[in-house]
């Protein structure tokens, strides 16, 4: 039986720069790469190697202490050619990102990492092909579907039958229902991104829509993994929703920053952390690539931390 959509009304909290700042940490005198958080990426495939490169680029640019990569040798070579800082192989990690660029994780041997990370209580970001591994009641799980993927996931599990259009037009209500049905943190991607965990309901609005281009979802997964890993390594008590909301804000603002840069428009730090609606009245910006968004992360993070 299909559940009725829940009315959320004014219960959404719009993520702000101050919320993001609270989830980030400036490296201290005694910090090292492990203290700053280690992200393990089980992303990319022989079919879609670029997704691994993009998640690695995003994780590195977002301030991870270390990024590990697990995947096919040919894909690892592509990752290391772009980001030689990445360690190819397994070891201690504080967050797992899995699924980006994997057609169906049920057919990928790295699915074992998904199960072991969740069993160990490690924050696990399931994107794209890893959504096939999702089952109700998996704690410490963060899923990042767009409307079509969430529709397919809920139908596969027999939990609800909602079309992609219904989900996209629900104003976040579908994310609320999905979080209740699945018992995990749900990030529903779009110009308006909704993050739900239990009673927490967060909203991130992108200042423009230039992020609607291939590969930016892979970048988002990498940023989320880094923010979660940093919090886990520090023992931060903030929820997965708060950390994920902070990462989504950084990603959205990175897209805006890159669009301004692509149009040759100078960007002041005060503009980076301005409310999204204020930026609607500024320049529209220009087309961007997913790599541009990853490259913008240091500038966006610096602007947030300097406020």
CA distance 212 to 209: 6
| Alpha-helix runs per DSSP H in 123-182 | 147-156, 164-168, 173-182
Q: Is residue 25 part of a domain?
A: no
Residue 217 annotated in ligand binding: yes
Domain total of the chain: 1
Q: Is residue 191 part of a domain?
A: yes
State whether residue 124 is helix, strand or coil: strand
> pLDDT of 204-240, one tens digit each?
999 999 999 999 999 999 999 999 999 999 999 999 9
Tell me the pLDDT band of 280, cut-offs 50, 70 and 90.
Answer: confident
Q: Is residue 244 part of a domain?
A: yes
**For 177, how many CA atoms within 13 A lie in the half-sphere containing its CB?**
21
Residue 101 annotated in ligand binding: yes
Q: Is residue 58 part of a domain?
A: yes
| Alpha-helix runs per DSSP H in the chain | 17-23, 50-61, 73-82, 111-119, 147-156, 164-168, 173-182, 216-234, 240-262, 269-272, 276-279, 290-306
- Flag whether pLDDT at 117 surpasses 60: yes
pTM summary value: 0.96
Residue 146 annotated in ligand binding: yes
CATH code for position 84: 3.40.1190.20
Residue 218 annotated in ligand binding: yes
Q: Is residue 169 part of a domain?
A: yes
Q: Is residue 224 part of a domain?
A: yes
Asked if 34 and 95 count as a contact pair (C-beta separation under 8 A), the reply is no
Asked if 139 and 184 count as a contact pair (C-beta separation under 8 A), the reply is yes
Residue 91 annotated in ligand binding: no
Residue 94 annotated in ligand binding: no
- Flag whether pLDDT at 3 surpasses 70: no
Among 209, 189, 221, 213, smallest CA distance to 123 is for 221
- Flag whether pLDDT at 20 surpasses 90: yes
- Flag whether pLDDT at 7 surpasses 70: no
Q: In the chain, count of helices (H) and strands (E)?
A: 12, 10
Residue 296 annotated in ligand binding: no
CA distance 253 to 283: 14
Tell me the pLDDT band of 281, cut-offs 50, 70 and 90.
Answer: confident
| CA distances, 11 to each of 178, 184, 187 (Å) | 17, 19, 16
Q: Is residue 121 part of a domain?
A: yes
Residue 74 annotated in ligand binding: no
Q: Burial, 263: exposed, middle or buried (Cβ in 10 Å; 0-12, 13-18, 19+)?
A: middle
Q: Provide the domain limits for residue 70.
A: 30-306
Residue 158 annotated in ligand binding: no
> pLDDT of 128-180, one tens digit each?
999 999 999 999 999 999 999 999 999 999 999 999 999 999 999 999 999 99
Q: Is residue 36 part of a domain?
A: yes
Residue 129 annotated in ligand binding: no
């Amino acid at each position: 039986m299909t559940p009725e959509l829940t009315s959320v009304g004014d219960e959404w909290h719009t993520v702000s720069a101050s919320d993001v700042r609270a989830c980030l940490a400036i490296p201290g005198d005694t910090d090292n790469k492990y203290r700053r958080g280690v992200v393990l990426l089980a992303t990319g495939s022989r079919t879609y190697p670029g997704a691994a490169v993009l998640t690695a680029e995003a994780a590195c640019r977002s301030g991870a202490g270390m990024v590990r990569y697990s995947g096919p040798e040919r894909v690892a070579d592509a990752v290391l050619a772009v980001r030689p800082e990445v360690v190819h192989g397994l070891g201690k990690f504080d967050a797992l990102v899995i699924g980006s660029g994997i057609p169906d994780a049920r057919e990928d041997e790295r699915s074992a990492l998904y199960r072991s990370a969740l069993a160990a209580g490690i924050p696990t970001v399931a994107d794209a092909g890893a959504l096939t591994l999702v089952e109700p009641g998996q704690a410490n799980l963060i899923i990042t579907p767009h409307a079509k993927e969430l529709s397919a996931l809920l139908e596969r599990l027999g939990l609800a039958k909602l079309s992609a259009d219904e989900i996209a037009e629900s104003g976040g209500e579908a994310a609320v229902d999905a979080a209740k049905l699945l018992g995990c943190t749900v990030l529903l991607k779009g110009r308006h991104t909704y993050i739900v965990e239990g009673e927490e309901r967060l909203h991130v609005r992108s200042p423009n829509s230039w992020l609607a281009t291939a590969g930016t979802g892979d970048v988002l997964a990498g940023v989320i993994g880094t923010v979660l890993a940093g919090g886990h390594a520090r023992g931060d008590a903030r929820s997965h929703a708060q950390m994920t909301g902070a990462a989504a804000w950084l990603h959205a603002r990175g897209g805006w920053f890159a669009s301004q840069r692509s149009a040759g428009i100078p960007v002041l730090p005060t503009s980076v952390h301005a409310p999204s609606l204020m930026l609607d009245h500024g320049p529209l910006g220009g087309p961007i690539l997913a790599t541009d968004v990853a490259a913008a992360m240091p500038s966006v993070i610096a602007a947030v931390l300097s406020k």
